[in-house]
Amino acid sequence: MSMRLDWSRFGDIARRLPVEAGALVRTTAYNIEKRSKSSMRQAKHGRAYERGFTKSGRARKAHRASAPGEAPAIDTGALVNSIHTEFLTATSAVVYTNQEYAQALEYGSKRMAARPFFTPAAEISFEEMLESMSDIERRLGA
Q: What is the pLDDT of residue 5?
A: 63
Please report whether residue 23 resides in a domain.
Answer: yes
Please report whether residue 82 resides in a domain.
Answer: yes
Are 71 and 36 in contact by the 8 Å Cβ rule? The answer is: yes
Alpha helices in 7-117 (DSSP H): 10-41, 78-81, 102-107
Please report whether residue 96 resides in a domain.
Answer: yes
From the number of C-beta atoms within 10 Å of its C-beta (0-12, 13-18, 19+), residue 95 rates as buried
Please report whether residue 88 resides in a domain.
Answer: yes
Please count the structural domains in the chain: 1
Domain around 106: 8-41+71-141
Percent of the chain with pLDDT over 90: 71
Mean pLDDT of 22-26: 96
